[in-house]
Amino acid sequence: MYDVVTTGEARDDLHRIARQFDAGEGEPVYFGSHRRAQAVIVPVDVWERLLEQAEGELDVQIAQKRLASTSRRLTHDEVVAVVDRLRS
């Protein structure tokens, strides 16, 4: 489980939180009104990894929907032709 700090506490501690993140220390900070989690402060490298993963999953979902909506599939020869064209 995680502790939730108030928005004011998170604001007051931003410098300390940033220093910990710069030092490779510290855990995500959950904060919100009345100690009800509404948001999280995380190091930028964690955010970028999460964003990359989310974008990858979204790309997969889009591809799956597109494949499901079309009845025509490329033949092996068509795939080879596209790959050859991209290589040149």
> What is the 3 state secondary structure string of the chain?
CCCEECHHHHHHCHHHHHHHHHCCCCCCEEECHHHCCCEEECCHHHHHHHHHHHHHHHHHHHHHHHHHHCCCCCCHHHHHHHHHHHHC
Q: What does DSSP say about strands 39-41 and 29-31: parallel, antiparallel, or unpaired?
A: antiparallel
Say yes or no: 61 and 84 in one domain.
Answer: yes
What pLDDT is recorded for position 88?
85
Model confidence at 74: pLDDT above 90? no
Say yes or no: 2 and 37 in one domain.
Answer: yes
Say yes or no: 29 and 55 in one domain.
Answer: no
Global model pTM greater than 0.75: no
Model confidence at 49: pLDDT above 80? yes
Say yes or no: 33 and 53 in one domain.
Answer: no
d(CA 87, CA 42): 40
Model confidence at 59: pLDDT above 90? no
Model confidence at 36: pLDDT above 90? yes
